[in-house]
Amino acid sequence: MGIKLTHSKISNTNISLSEIGLGTVKFGRNTDIKYPKPFDLPSDNDLIKILNTAAELGVNYLDTAVAYGVANQRLGKLLPKVNKKFKIVAKIGEHYSSQSGSVYNFTRSSLKGDFEKLLEELDLNFIECLLLHCNDNDCGDDIKDGLKFLKQLKQKGLIGAYGSSCKTKEGVMLALDSDSDVVMIEPNLFSETQKLFDDCSNPNVIIKKAFSSGNILLNQKVNPSEVLKNYLEEKSILSIVIGSINNSHLRQNIEPLQKK
């Protein structure tokens, strides 16, 4: 038997995610982001190696967004050359260009356009988990209606699960009230909202930025896999999406979590 990462089903769906997912911001965008050091986008060959390493380590999904520059175009081109079919967790509603920065639009027509672009770029006809890519205004009527739109996509069988990537406690509460399957949040917001999750079976939490975009690893006193293990002990945390374009970092982070 191979070495495995734990996989868990998103409640009320047939979608299983590995406890670690691979984030793809650094595959497609290197401007206006909060990493401690500048970096060049990886070459196609390097990206294929990173994706194969993640697959070998037991990662079963990639986290992406229409706001991640050319990440989806690159994934659409390169995933057929990788030894594994990854599931996709994708975010829509935020648009980014280096000229205009981030612009958010959660109207149905814009979300529909984002979803179609996502399917086209990734060359897929189904997305396992689709989230609204929210900014700080994550609990208004536009978000409420956006979640209804995602629910309809799920009912039509075009996506397997839906929810929000939230920034505020109010956004999390709206996601909980809207039948969402998943919320994606940073560790600080998880600490603030943990009690809200204690009594409900869904939504399941995906943690993003567990390493604070790499900042907490700079002094090398923090053990990255211990950080991940601590979060994964929490009942409501289904998975953690980590960003990396470095094969040895991926191994260092994930190998200690694997089970024989």
C-alpha distances in Å from residue 219, one per residue of 208, 222, 224, 228, 240: 21, 7, 12, 17, 22
- Closest-CA residue to 64 (of 155, 205, 215, 165): 165
Cα–Cα distance measured from residue 236 to residue 202, given in angstroms and rounded to the nearest whole number: 8
Q: By rule CB under 6 A, what string of x and - marks binding of each residue 68-107 to ligand NAP?
A: -----------------------x----------------
Structure-block tokens of residue 53: 């390493």
Binding segment for ligand NAP (CB under 6 A), chosen from 22-30, 72-80, 102-110, 150-158, is 22-30
Binding flag, residue 245, ligand NAP (CB under 6 A):
yes
Kindly tell me which residue out of 129, 130, 208, 239 binds ligand NAP, with binding defined by CB under 6 A: 208
Kindly tell me the sign of the dihedral angle through the C-alpha atoms of 52, 33, 70, 25.
positive
Binding flag, residue 135, ligand NAP (CB under 6 A):
no
Cα–Cα distance measured from residue 228 to residue 250, given in angstroms and rounded to the nearest whole number: 12
Kindly tell me which residue out of 69, 178, 209, 239 binds ligand NAP, with binding defined by CB under 6 A: 209
Kindly tell me which residue out of 13, 24, 53, 204 binds ligand NAP, with binding defined by CB under 6 A: 24
Binding flag, residue 129, ligand NAP (CB under 6 A):
no
Residues 100-111 as b/e (b if ≥16 CB within 10 A, e otherwise) read: eeeebebeeebb
Cα–Cα distance measured from residue 24 to residue 71, given in angstroms and rounded to the nearest whole number: 7
Kindly tell me which residue out of 57, 75, 133, 163 binds ligand NAP, with binding defined by CB under 6 A: 133
Kindly tell me which residue out of 35, 98, 103, 191 binds ligand NAP, with binding defined by CB under 6 A: 35
Kindly tell me which residue out of 23, 160, 163, 171 binds ligand NAP, with binding defined by CB under 6 A: 23
Residue 39 and residue 224 in contact, taking contact as beta carbons nearer than 8 Å: no
How many C-beta neighbours within 10 Å does residue 181 have?
A: 25
Binding flag, residue 61, ligand NAP (CB under 6 A):
no
Binding flag, residue 146, ligand NAP (CB under 6 A):
no
- Closest-CA residue to 23 (of 245, 227, 203, 228): 245
Chain centroid to Cα 219, Å, comes to 26
User: Smaller CB distance to ligand NAP: residue 79 or 245?
Assistant: 245
Binding flag, residue 51, ligand NAP (CB under 6 A):
no
The three-class DSSP label of residue 185 is: strand
Kindly tell me which residue out of 211, 237, 239, 257 binds ligand NAP, with binding defined by CB under 6 A: 211
User: Smaller CB distance to ligand NAP: residue 119 or 241?
Assistant: 241
Binding segment for ligand NAP (CB under 6 A), chosen from 7-15, 109-117, 147-155, 239-247, is 239-247
How many C-beta neighbours within 10 Å does residue 7 have?
A: 15
Minimum Å gap between C-beta 215 and ligand NAP is 8
Binding flag, residue 30, ligand NAP (CB under 6 A):
no
Give me the residues that bind ligand NAP (CB under 6 A), please: 23-26, 35, 63, 91, 133, 165, 184, 208-214, 217, 224, 241-246, 249, 252-253
